[in-house]
Structure 1
Amino acid sequence: MKKHIAAATLALIASPAFAQDVTTASGVKAGVVVGYDSTNLSYDDLDESKGGFLYGATLGYDYDTGPVVVGVEGEITGATTNQSYDNLLFADDRWKLSAGRDLYVGARIGFHVFPSVLLYAKGGYTNSRANLSIRYEGEKYKDHDNLDGFRLGAGAEVAVTQSTFARIEYRYSDYGNYGHDDVDSGIGVSRHQVALISGLRFKAGQLI
């Protein structure tokens, strides 16, 4: 009985000590992204949002100075968000606008609130593809446009173990007005996303 009590006591003492050793240290980080995407279209009195499933991958590098962490990251994501319009120009026509791949590159800065917990803000460039599909009288027409914009975000990162991390993050992207063939439609495009990110930390080519 005493041996069991001693073992349990040692485990309780060792657990906080191990947790203190887990930090959001410098190094390469790679992870998968899942979450919720809401794309907004605004024009005069029109203000419409559609939601979908967000998925993708991220890769970045962090430098931990102690109280402050600075880093760069890139991301490629997709989303199931789409919107359809029937009888828009002609009877029985169908227009479908759907989200394509989204590329992001930017920087982030964070502050340790605990050795294993980081609060951060981020910002950078984003390029999103909008896919257009039109069906009319049995014929189909497809096209796409790339939208340039900026992204701002904030989140929290937790070092789960020495080699794994998890984040929850909110980000806002603004692509300005949608244009096609150098013609400004006047339709503003933006998106709100909540992302859950989990992944691995690497150092000198190996897991730390």
Structure 2
Amino acid sequence: MKRHAAAGLTLAAAVAVAAPALAADLPQPVEPIPYADPVPAERFDWSGFYFGGHLGWNWTDSETRNAVTGKFNTNDSGIAGGVHAGYNFMMTPNLLLGAEADFSLSDINKRKTVAGVNYRTSSDWNGTVRARAGWAFDRFLVFGTGGLAIADLDVAANGVKDSATRVGWTAGAGIEGAVTQNVTARLEYQYQDYGSETFALGGQSYKTDLSNNQVRFGLSYQF
């Protein structure tokens, strides 16, 4: 009996010693690797001052009324280019409000002969001061704009010349995208209405209305 008890104790001790080794040989559970959230891309900040240049195409419509000639149009189109500057303020992460001014040079010069009267209209420059409001989709912006417009208007009839600086209004819209963290590119349209001006040329009164349509591409550097 004692021999059986000793044998049992010996077997139990052997199992106790071998158990850790056997457990070490068994496949061990793999610790899960903590999931790392991707670092979000830096959101583009539209706020602040910016300065840039633009180049595009200008369509001018000049409508003139005179007692001898009646009503006629002298329309012309050509390249227009210049500079712009402004400031943006983000009211919310998406809503942008801002102000912008621009100055453009153009080469608008049109002649027309009506009822024996040789009439010429030309405009060499125009500028605007506008408010901007837009909605930003991170690196893209859709905006509308409107404000004051100013331009020169030169006229001539049968060798007599006169000129005026006209102040009117402008409205337009565009899209803009961030090329880098400081450079943006835009495509925009503006309509500019300068109202009418009456010119006395050679004893005749000529009332001329001036308006522009502009489509232009621009690049801006944001500080």
Taking structure 1 as the reference length, the TM-score comes to 0.74
Shift of 1:110: 0.2
Residues 160-202 of structure 1: per-residue CA shift (max 9 Å, x gap): 1001011100110111112237x98443221111011112001
2:217 is the alignment partner of 1:191: no
The aligned residue for residue 199 of structure 2 is 180
CA distance in 1, matches of 2:205, 2:128: 23
CA distance in 1, matches of 2:110, 2:43: 44
The aligned residue for residue 127 of structure 1 is 150
Q: RMSD value over aligned CA atoms? A: 2.7
Structure 1 pair 149/25, CA: closer, same or farther in 2 (3 Å)?
same
Counterpart code for 1:74? A
2:129 is the alignment partner of 1:108: no
CA distance in 2, matches of 1:100, 1:194: 17
More displaced stretch, 120-129 vs 22-31:
22-31
2:91 is the alignment partner of 1:62: no
User: Percentage identity across aligned positions?
Assistant: 25
The aligned residue for residue 34 of structure 2 is none
2:68 is the alignment partner of 1:41: no
Residues 89-125 of structure 1: per-residue CA shift (max 9 Å, x gap): 56xxx6542212212111010001x201000000000
CA distance in 2, matches of 1:162, 1:135: 56
| Contact in 1 for aligned 2:50/2:221 (Cα 8 Å) | yes
Structure 1 pair 98/108, CA: closer, same or farther in 2 (3 Å)?
same
| Contact in 2 for aligned 1:24/1:117 (Cα 8 Å) | no
Structure 1 pair 68/75, CA: closer, same or farther in 2 (3 Å)?
same
Residues 56-84 of structure 1: per-residue CA shift (max 9 Å, x gap): 10010001231101100111111112102
Counterpart code for 1:129? D
Larger radius of gyration: 2
| Contact in 1 for aligned 2:152/2:163 (Cα 8 Å) | yes
The aligned residue for residue 117 of structure 1 is 140
CA distance in 1, matches of 2:131, 2:199: 30
Shift of 1:43: 4.7
Structure 1 residue ranges without an equivalent (≥5): 1-12, 203-208
The aligned residue for residue 4 of structure 1 is none
Structure 1 pair 95/43, CA: closer, same or farther in 2 (3 Å)?
closer
Shift of 1:39: 0.4
Query: How many pairs are equivalent?
Result: 177
Give the counterpart of 2:188 among 161, 169, 174.
169
The aligned residue for residue 221 of structure 2 is 200
Shift of 1:134: 6.3
2:102 is the alignment partner of 1:79: no
Shift of 1:126: 0.7
2:50 is the alignment partner of 1:52: no
Counterpart code for 1:173? Q
The aligned residue for residue 26 of structure 1 is 47
| Contact in 1 for aligned 2:199/2:207 (Cα 8 Å) | no
SS at match of 2:46: coil
Taking structure 2 as the reference length, the TM-score comes to 0.70
